[in-house]
Amino acid sequence: NAGVTQTPKFQVLKTGQSMTLQCAQDMNHNSMYWYRQDPGMGLRLIYYSASEGTTDKGEVPNGYNVSRLNKREFSLRLESAAPSQTSVYFCASRSLRGADTQYFGPGTRLTVL
Amino acid sequence: AQSVTQPDIHITVSEGASLELRCNYSYGATPYLFWYVQSPGQGLQLLLKYFSGDTLVQGIKGFEAEFKRSQSSFNLRKPSVHWSDAAEYFCAVGSTSGTYKYIFGTGTRLKVLA
């Protein structure tokens, strides 16, 4: 049981390049989330998917798109990377049943030059 | 609007000393409340959570937190800090309906002196 996995762990992009961050969970959770973490700002929600087939914007969605590919996978895409998107990105998942707890992946450290 | 405030950006304590990290929230009803810990280069690990019932909540690694409705606070405590507790700590508020989104505080970085 791997929990929440994210790939890649590190990535360097040039301004204008695109990339997709991958996230998968094996806990059969319904809800999945993408956050970014910046110094002094805590974690801010980019997008979330309350259940398979639905996605919604969070606090800072501009410059990002998401795809809930199936129940396990939730990807985050940067179409045209900007230096302001340099950050650490975390994926999380949550079950609808029982304890309302989000479980986090190890993060992807992205640098945009 | 929902918000979470962690007023202390950095805290330094000596090993063996007691610890209290502050968290204040703004929410229309009684929210779900969480404390997470993040070690350097790692993801977030849940320490404890409050949903309802007993306002003193026990968590992992010897941590506890007390929900005080009148003060809109959910402070994290540990009676005796260990060097391995050095990390960043995040308080979070969770929605009790609908989207189940979290709002995180900006974090408190704990340094432990030997």
Angle (CA) B33-B44-B37 rounded to 5° is: 65
Instruction: Using the Cα atoms of residue A110, residue A112, residue B5 and residue B9 in order, give the sign of their dihedral.
Output: positive
| Residue for token pair 């304890």 | A99
Rounded CA separation A36/A85 (Å): 9
Cβ–Cβ contact A99 with B under 8 A = yes
Q: Min CA distance, A102 vs chain B (Å)?
A: 8
* Residues A21-55 pLDDT 10s: 999 999 999 899 999 999 888 899 999 998 888 99
Least confident of B2-6, B9-13, B49-53: B49-53
From the list A31, A42, A106, which residue is nearest B107 (CB)?
A: A42
Return the pLDDT at A98: 55
pLDDT in tens, B13-62: 999 999 999 999 998 777 889 999 999 888 899 999 998 888 999 999 99
Is B85 in a helix, a strand, or coil?
A: helix
> In which band, very low, low, confident or very high, does the pLDDT at A97 lie, cut at 50, 70 and 90?
low
Helix (H/G/I), strand (E/B), else coil: B86: coil
